[in-house]
Amino acid sequence: MLDRDLYSQIFGVRPPWIVTDVKLDMKIQEVEVVVSLDPAHETTCPTCGKPAKRCDARRRRWRHLDTCQLKTILAADVPRLECPVHKVVQMRVPWAEENSRFTALFECLVIDWLLGTGGAIAPIAQQMRLSWEEVDGIKSRAVERGLARREPEETDQLCVDEMTFRRRHDYVTVVSSSIESRVLFVGDDRTQESLDGFYVGLSPEQRAAVTSVSMDMSAAYVASTRKHIPDADGKIAFDKFHVAKHLGDAVDKVRRAENKDLMAAGDTRLVRSKHLWLENPDNMSDERWSGHFASLRASRPRTARAWAMKETAMGL
Ligand SMILES: [Zn+2]
């Protein structure tokens, strides 16, 4: 025999709800705890709080925390109520969210596990005997609750990044606040529409208050920012990394052209020197810097001039 009072306590079930039955099925390793609403309880509309009569009830089941490794289900006939204003509405239950098939405590446990795995769904699904979709649903509801609780964000200084997703050629666009280092938005893909999705969520005042948008040199992000942010051209800042890459490419273009000319005259100075011109001088050993590379620079080929321009730009 299973103790109804014990289960009342374990579940935190309080009046007007009472545990009326506990069924154990060893074959499927499941405990079903049946909870009923006190018949004398005066029901009210969940929307307006006015008294509302019960018309019928629907049996619903929620997965709860396991008891002694047995899958545990909370079941209740949830009344449907008739409100004079809101017509037929389902009564809310205190142990679960409206559209969830899990109790709040169970969702809480799944979310704790998800935090521990950095959000990876598959191991949790296996551990908790849930489907991938079920864990994903719990995760999505938690994200929704978190977003609903958010205070207005600091959106003056923005940072836009594209990120690959699941090591395939799937991309997402991530917008974060440069000040708070917080993710504000994640959109599918890396197109203009991806970033538009963030900007349209800002009020005109917020858009006008943006002072800088840091990004890579993506034409799509530039177009989206120009479309939504007033005086965007003065506010877009390209990531140093991307600027450095373009400058490095330019230096190498000069080196290759010059090498061709020098080779024609039998001068092999620039052969195999590509990496010297592209390396960050801060990472170069003293020996490299003041040895072969110093004499190359001193011999003043055109490449040395391009290189000096690149280094000056990086210092800006
Ligand atoms: Zn109502």
Task: Map out the domains of the chain as residue ranges.
Answer: 4-95, 109-149, 157-238, 241-314
Distance (Å) from CA 91 to ligand 1 centroid: 11
Is pLDDT at 1 greater than 50 in this prediction? no
Write the CA distances from 68 to 30, 57, 71, 74, integer angstroms: 10, 31, 8, 15
pLDDT recorded at residue 32: 94
Flag whether the pTM goes above 0.75: no
Distance (Å) from CA 81 to ligand 1 centroid: 9
pLDDT recorded at residue 182: 83
Architecture of domain 157-238: 2-Layer Sandwich (3.30)
Sheet of 182-188: strands edge to edge?
A: 182-188, 170-177, 157-165, 212-215, 236-238
| Strands 30-37, 70-83: pairing kind | parallel
Distance (Å) from CA 36 to ligand 1 centroid: 22
29: left (phi over 0), alpha (psi -120 to 50) or beta: left
Query: How many helices (H) and strands (E) in the chain?
Result: 12, 10
Dihedral pair phi/psi, residue 35, rounded to 5°: -115, 135
Classify residue 278 as exposed, middle or buried by CB count within 10 Å of its CB (0-12, 13-18, 19+): middle
What confidence tier does 2 reach under pLDDT thresholds 50, 70, 90?
low
Instruction: For residues 253 and 126, give the distance between their C-alpha atoms in angstroms, rounded to a whole number.
Output: 54
Per-residue pLDDT reduced to its tens digit, 45-65: 999 999 999 999 999 999 999
- Give the range among 7-16, 113-122, 131-140, 247-256 with minimum mean pLDDT: 7-16
Query: What mean pLDDT, rounded, does the chain reach?
Result: 88
Would you say the C-alpha torsion 47, 52, 57, 61 has a positive or negative sign?
A: positive
Distance (Å) from CA 48 to ligand 1 centroid: 4
For ligand 1, a single-atom ion, the residues with CB < 5 A are 45, 47-48, 83, 85-86
Highest mean pLDDT (candidates 199-208, 220-229, 287-296): 220-229
Average pLDDT over residues 289-310: 88
Distance (Å) from CA 8 to ligand 1 centroid: 30
- Give the range among 6-20, 73-87, 260-274 with minimum mean pLDDT: 6-20
Per-residue pLDDT reduced to its tens digit, 111-134: 999 888 887 899 999 988 999 999
In DSSP notation, 14-50 reads -TTEEEEEEEEETTTTEEEEEEEE-TT---B-TTT--
Distance (Å) from CA 19 to ligand 1 centroid: 27
Per-residue pLDDT reduced to its tens digit, 255-297: 999 999 999 999 888 888 888 888 888 888 888 888 888 888 8
